[in-house]
Amino acid sequence: MSSFSRLVQSSYNLAHRLLNDPQCFSLLAALVVLGDAALTQLIIRFVPYTEIDWETYMIQLELYMKGEKDYAFITGPTGPIVYPAGHIHVHRFLYDLTDAGTNLWKGQEIYGALYLSTLALTAAIYKQAGNVPNWILLLLPLSKRLHSIYVLRLFNDCWAVFAAQAAILAFANSWDALGILLLGCALSVKMSVLLYVPGLLVILFKRRGLVSTLLHMLALAGTQALIGLPFLLEYPQSYLKYSYEFSRVFLFKWTVNWRFLGEELFLSPAWAKALLVGHVTTLALFGLFKWCRSDGGVREVLEKGLRQPLRAPSAAPFAADHVVTVLYTSNLIGILFARSLHYQFYSWYAMQLPFLAWRTKYPIVLRLALLLSIEYAWNVYPSTYLSSGVLVTANAALLLGIWFGYPEGKVVHCRNVEV
C-alpha cells in the first residue's frame, strides 16, 4: 500500500471514529464549537447587522437608570417593556460593556460568545443524555436563522435560552437546587421559560416527592420575587401586569406560525382558548400515558407520592436521557400550541430539535426532512400560508413521532437498558 493510500485510510478511520465512536463525542463537540466560532466571526464581519430591538432595550434601560421603576412608563421605539426584571439586569451589564449600546461590534462579539456557550452546553446535554450518534452534532451549527437571532439581531431571548439550557444540564445531573436557580434566572429574562415547568413538575415529583416538589416551585417563585424586588416594592401591580402578561395579543403581521388561518381567526379569542385547551390536553395526555409509564403508570406514581409525601415515588434514579427528553418535549408542546411565534422565538428550541428527532422512530431520512422543513419555515420572511403550514405540520409530526417513539427517552432509569 502506498503512502497516499495509507494516509487516506488513516483519515477515513479517524473520521469514522469521530462520527460514530461514543468515546470521541467530546472531541467532535469541541471541533464543532471551534468550527462554528470561525463561522460566527465570518458572519459578524461580512453580514450587515439589522436593528430591531437593541435600541429599544437601551432606551428602556436608560429610563430605569434615571430612576423610573414603574413598568407602565418604561418604553422605547418598539413599545413598552414586556419582560421580567432579569432582562433589565442583563442589559445593565451589556450597557456598560458596549458604551451605552453604541458599540455594536462589541455587542455582537458578546452575543457570539453567548451563542457558542449555548452550543457547548447543548453538546454537554446531548453527551449526558446519550443515545444519539456523534454526527448529530454536525447539525447544530447549520441554522442560518439561529446565527441571525444571536449576532445579527441581539435578541434578549438568547440569554433566557442559555440559562435554560444550563438548568436542563443541571437537572440531568440531578443537581435540582442549582437547576431551579438557573431556571429562575432564565424565567426572569423571558416568560417563555414557563413552558418547561409542566415537564419539570413530573420529574421533580417522581424524583423528590410531593413536599420537595412544592419547595422547589416555591424557590422558583422566590427567584422571581428577589430579582424583581426593586420594581415590586414600588409598583407591584404595574410590574406584574407588564412583565408576566398572559393575555398579550401579538400582531398578525409578525407571526411565523398559524398565518394560514387568516387574520380574523388568528386574532379571535375563541382561537386563543382553543390553543390553550390543546396545550393543556396534550400535556395531560403525555403526563397520563407516557411520562410515568415506566414507573407503573400515573395512578401508581400519584398514590405513592400522596401516601408518602416526603419520599420519592420512584425508587430508581432517573437517567439523564429521561430528564432531558421530558423537559425538551414539554417545551415543544408549548411551542406547537403558541398563539404566535416571532422569528426570535426559534432560539427557544432550535438546538433541541436534533435530539428530539432522535426520540422518534422515524427513518433517518424523515427525521432530517422534518429538521430541514422547520429550518425552512423559520427562514421565510415574511411568513406565508405555505411556510406557516409547513412549520405547524413539522412541529406536530415531530411531537407525534415522540409520542409513538421514546417519550421517556431511550433510557428511563440508570439501571435500565435501552427501551
Model confidence pLDDT, tens digit, residues 217-266: 999 999 999 999 999 999 999 999 999 877 777 778 889 999 999 999 99
Q: Give rounded-to-5 percent helix, strand, coil for the chain.
A: 70, 0, 25
- What is the 3 state secondary structure string of 201-268? HHHHHHHHCHHHHHHHHHHHHHHHHHHCHHHHCCCHHHHHHHHCCCCCCCCHHHCCCCHHHCHHHHHC
Helix axes 85-97, 157-172, angle to 10 degrees: 110
Task: Flag whether 417 is in a domain.
Answer: no
> What residues does 269 pair with on adjacent strands?
none
Eight-state DSSP code of residue 134: G
Kindly report the pTM of this predicted structure: 0.96
| CA distances in angstroms from 397 to 338, 379, 401, listed in the order given | 16, 19, 6
Burial 274-290 (b: 16+ CB within 10 A, else e): ebeeebeebbeebbeeb
Name the amino acid, one letter, at 199.
G
Name the amino acid, one letter, at 19.
L
For residues 359 and 367, the answer to whether their CB atoms sit within 8 Å is no
Task: Retrieve residue 384's grid coordinates.
Answer: 406565508
| CA distances in angstroms from 344 to 279, 291, 393, listed in the order given | 21, 29, 20
Q: For the chain, list residues with pLDDT below 70.
A: 1, 414-419
Name the amino acid, one letter, at 113.
A
- Would you give the distance in Å from CA 130 to the centre of its chain? 19
Task: Flag whether 326 is in a domain.
Answer: yes
Give the residue from 414, 310, 401, 322 showing the smallest Cα distance to 360.
401
Tens digit of each residue's pLDDT (9 = 90 or more) over 23-35: 999 999 999 999 9
For every residue of 66-110, DSSP letters joined together read TT---GGG-EETTEE--S-HHHHHHHHHHHHHTTTTT-HHHHHHH
> What residues does 318 pair with on adjacent strands?
413
Task: Flag whether 31 is in a domain.
Answer: yes
pLDDT at 331 (0 to 100): 98
Give the residue from 160, 157, 166, 159 showing the smallest Cα distance to 121.
166
Contacts of 88 (CB under 8 A, 6+ apart): 60, 61, 64, 81
Supply the range of the domain harboring residue 220: 17-404
Task: Flag whether 9 is in a domain.
Answer: no
Task: Flag whether 61 is in a domain.
Answer: yes
Task: Flag whether 416 is in a domain.
Answer: no
pLDDT at 415 (0 to 100): 53
For residues 278 and 284, the answer to whether their CB atoms sit within 8 Å is no
Task: Flag whether 182 is in a domain.
Answer: yes
Is the dihedral angle over the CA atoms 308, 314, 320, 326 positive or is it negative?
negative
Contacts of 172 (CB under 8 A, 6+ apart): 125, 128, 129, 320, 323, 324
pLDDT at 419 (0 to 100): 47
Task: Flag whether 419 is in a domain.
Answer: no
SS3 state at 413: strand
* Count of domains for the chain: 1
**H-helix or E-strand containing 298?**
helix 298-307
pLDDT at 417 (0 to 100): 43
